Amino acid sequence: QVQLAESGGGLVQPGGSLRLSCAASGNFFDINAMGWYRKAPGKQRELVAAIISGGSINYVDSVKGRFTISRDNAKSTVYLEMNSLKLEDTAVYYCNAVVETLPARLAMNYWGKGTLVTVSS
């Protein structure tokens, strides 16, 4: 079993910054990819940013230049540095990981419980 523990959400004013963290724990062989999705009220869930084991990184257009995703492989942790936050960034942010489980090394998809980011003046 694999668990994803998120932290770092909260209330911030427009233009402010927050840093989200997500640590994976449990019994697994490797993590193929980690990323962040978000779900805003009345909107569909969308991929915000993802980082793959080879180093490839993707961002949704609306956060390019403002958000930075990074990963600490030794800690099995992914971070999302969010700067210049806007009202429209308000959402529940979910950590996602594609993990090779043990013993079969099957690639499985895991989700965190979500952390609320509220951007408000």
> Sign of the CA dihedral 117, 61, 58, 104?
positive
CA 35, 52, 45: angle at the middle one, nearest 5?
30
Chain segment 86-103, per-residue pLDDT in tens: 999 999 999 999 999 888
Tell which residue, 45, 49, 86, has the closest CA to residue 69: 49
Chain segment 50-86, per-residue pLDDT in tens: 999 888 999 999 999 999 999 999 999 999 999 999 9
Residue by residue, DSSP assigns 41-55 as: TTS--EEEEEEETTS
Interatomic CA distance for residues 24 and 21, integer angstroms = 10
Chain segment 10-51, per-residue pLDDT in tens: 999 999 999 999 999 998 999 999 999 999 999 999 999 999
